[in-house]
Amino acid sequence: MSIETPARQAPAAVLATPILEVKDLVVRYGRGRKAAAAPAAVDRVSFTIQPGETVGLVGESGSGKSTIGKAILGLQKVSAGSISYQGKDTTHAGAGQRRALGSELRAVFQDPNSSLNPRQTVGASLAEPLRIRGVAAPEARGRAEAMLERVGLPREAVDRYPSQFSGGQRQRIAVARALICEPSLVVCDEAVSALDLSTQAQVLNLLADLRDERGLSYLFIAHDISVVQFLAQRVVVLYRGQVMESGPAAAVTEDPKHPFTQALVAASPVPRPAEQAERRTLRESMGVRTASSVSATPGGCPFRQRCPLATEMCATERPALRVVGGSDVACHYA
């Protein structure tokens, strides 16, 4: 996918407490000794999100993107490291603390049907989180109608069922449900990947408009770097649970330094056949091996078996993030 509109700019950065801080996050699946011996699905990942900022989390399938999103939302147990929301540690938050966070920390998932009850009207689904917080039924319905109108749907849609809408319209309803409690941070996990190109652009524009209007912060998770480039101010590139590169969106997507990021950008499709052919030639000339041709091995750089720059040091020493150009890059030779 290719979206030509440049990323919208968030309000000027203010020296303040990040709305979200993820520090040295480690997540392992399993329990007890089995979990301790299992390879980390997320391995010492750190990043912050400032108020009003969108940070894009991008990588191939299996890179740990969704696992990070689930850990932030409290849906996945954290093995090590910490997660802080507005300066307060939420790493191992209990049920009471999670309920208190429910109106401030929301999510939009890939499949809107996962958050919409097919047996409830759209109005009932949107009003439910408000009713849980004690909002009276008439006021909750009014706010549901207003939010539907804001995401481009008619107010009378409150009395319809999810099956009466298209996929793109259902995703707009999912966005409305996430925002109806006026949260500060929204985790968008592959929120547009199941939509066609034109509908993707509409939903991305909607998310950007709502961010600018309400000062929202987003963690935007996607596998298509061109989608992330459109919406995010900063980008974090993951490979097998580790950060390969991070920095301003323009630096990471237009002048990538890590070999994996370069291959990811070259693999992003564009609508112009001549440019697509050039990208294919460039990708083939890089000498980056495909993911299916290698197997995961512990230690060192996780990308070394696919990387044309790899040496013996890459097999024994995990590269630390260092500043290269305008980005932080985890590569000995970038």
pLDDT of residue 13: 42
Backbone angles phi, psi at 257, to 5 degrees: -105, -35
Using CA atoms, how far apart are residues 287 and 212, in angstroms rounded to an integer?
41
Using CA atoms, how far apart are residues 88 and 122, in angstroms rounded to an integer?
34
Query: What is the DSSP-derived secondary structure letter of residue 133?
Result: T
Place of tokens 């299992």: 38
| Three-class DSSP category at 106 | strand
List the structure tokens of 231.
């919406």
Domain ranges, ordered by start, for the chain: 114-182
Cβ(126)–Cβ(182) below 8 Å: no
Q: Residue 136: how many CB atoms within 10 A of its CB?
A: 10
The whole-angstrom distance between residue 181's C-alpha and the CA centroid of its chain comes to 20
Per-residue pLDDT of the chain (334 residues), as tens digits, is: 444 444 444 444 445 789 999 999 999 988 777 777 778 999 999 999 999 999 999 999 889 999 999 999 999 999 999 999 999 999 998 888 888 888 889 999 888 877 788 999 999 999 998 888 888 999 999 999 999 998 889 999 999 999 999 888 999 999 999 999 889 999 999 888 878 888 888 888 889 998 998 899 999 999 888 888 889 999 999 999 999 999 999 999 999 999 999 988 888 777 677 777 777 777 677 767 777 667 777 789 999 988 988 899 999 999 999 999 889 999 999 8
pLDDT of residue 293: 63
How many residues are recorded in the chain? 334
Using CA atoms, how far apart are residues 33 and 120, in angstroms rounded to an integer?
43
Query: What is the DSSP-derived secondary structure letter of residue 163?
Result: G
Name which of 170, 151, 187 is nearest 113 in CA terms: 170
What DSSP string runs through 48-71? EE-TT-EEEEEESTTSSHHHHHHH
Query: What is the DSSP-derived secondary structure letter of residue 321?
Result: P
Over its C-alpha atoms, the chain yields an Rg (Å, rounded) of: 21
Neighbouring C-alpha atoms within 13 Å toward the C-beta of 91 = 14
Q: Does pTM surpass 0.95?
A: no
pLDDT of residue 288: 77
| Amino acid in the structure at residue 48 | T
Dihedral sign computed on CA atoms, order 2, 51, 43, 72? negative
